[in-house]
Amino acid sequence: MTLDDEIEMFDFAMRYERRMSANTCEAYGRDLRFFGEWLKRRGRTAAAAVTRDDIALFLREEREAGLKGSTRARRTAAIRMWLRYLKERRMIPQNPSDLMDPPKKALALPRVLTEEEVASMLDNVSGVEPRELRDRAILETLYGCGLRVSELCDLKMDDIVADGELLRVLGKGSKERIVPIGVAAGRALESYFASARGAFVKGNLAETHVFVTRLGRPFTRQGVFKVIRERAAAVGIAADRISPHVLRHCFASHMLSRGADIRVIQELLGHADIGTTQIYTHVDAARFAEIHKLHPRH
């Protein structure tokens, strides 16, 4: 059996036995075919002939060629999984990738705006028309609560709890957390509910999403992107510098710069590595609220 056959067999197993996502199958298949061509140039005609030194040299050449750490890590994962699959089926005597450390991903620094830039964008949305009030509430909620764009789109009216002081957020992996709303976001939401939301909902009592488009439908991620970039452009912030996730980064970065504890910020953001689904599991509620006052728009 040739290298191409062994890679094709693994590709079939990924798609139809393990039912991995189409994107993962395509990426791993592409990586393995690239690795296969590299092996052929070294005279390797089957996986059984591949050595640990082959893999190490391949990855070193990838690094020296300037390939991103994330891509090298994915290629390493693809090679490991492929060889493990062949070993499990006794098609190769041993897995040469065993005990190899994956390449470390390069640290990607998040893009952030200055506090002044964020304030300029928010304060520029100051009209009293329904769209102005809605867009201001969207911006203040993203920045003031550190939400993911999907979390913002999914917010329901009954997710606003404790007399409007807290948000109940359902994050990744259906993990729930509670986030203080803060003064600026609270005011923006109150104004939106009092004078704008009804104009978008148009009497549809069945619509329970907090943020609604002019067509009376819940916002999509793309719709929120459009709102943010339009409002940023109005104060000279380039489109490639702003997104919902940039505002989430700003939330964390600006609080950190004002002295907030990094672990508490992780709780507020709902990061998976915290290892909890409830925000109050490890943080005292009173201290939690006091720390949130460090946010520049509290």
Cβ atoms of 69 and 103 closer than 8 Å: yes
Cβ atoms of 280 and 288 closer than 8 Å: yes
Residue of 280, 282, 287, 293 marked catalytic: 280
DSSP assignment of 110-121 equals PP---HHHHHHH
Cβ atoms of 92 and 48 closer than 8 Å: yes
Residue of 248, 254, 292, 295 marked catalytic: 248
Is residue 248 flagged as an active site residue?
A: yes
Residue of 18, 60, 63, 172 marked catalytic: 172
Is residue 231 flagged as an active site residue?
A: no
Residue of 148, 197, 229, 295 marked catalytic: 148
User: Rounded CA gap, 240 and 111, in Å?
Assistant: 10
Q: At what angle do helices 3-12 and 22-41 cross, to 10 degrees?
A: 170
User: Rounded CA gap, 224 and 206, in Å?
Assistant: 22
Is residue 280 flagged as an active site residue?
A: yes
Is residue 172 flagged as an active site residue?
A: yes
Cβ atoms of 242 and 113 closer than 8 Å: yes
Active site residues per annotation: 148, 172, 245, 248, 271, 280
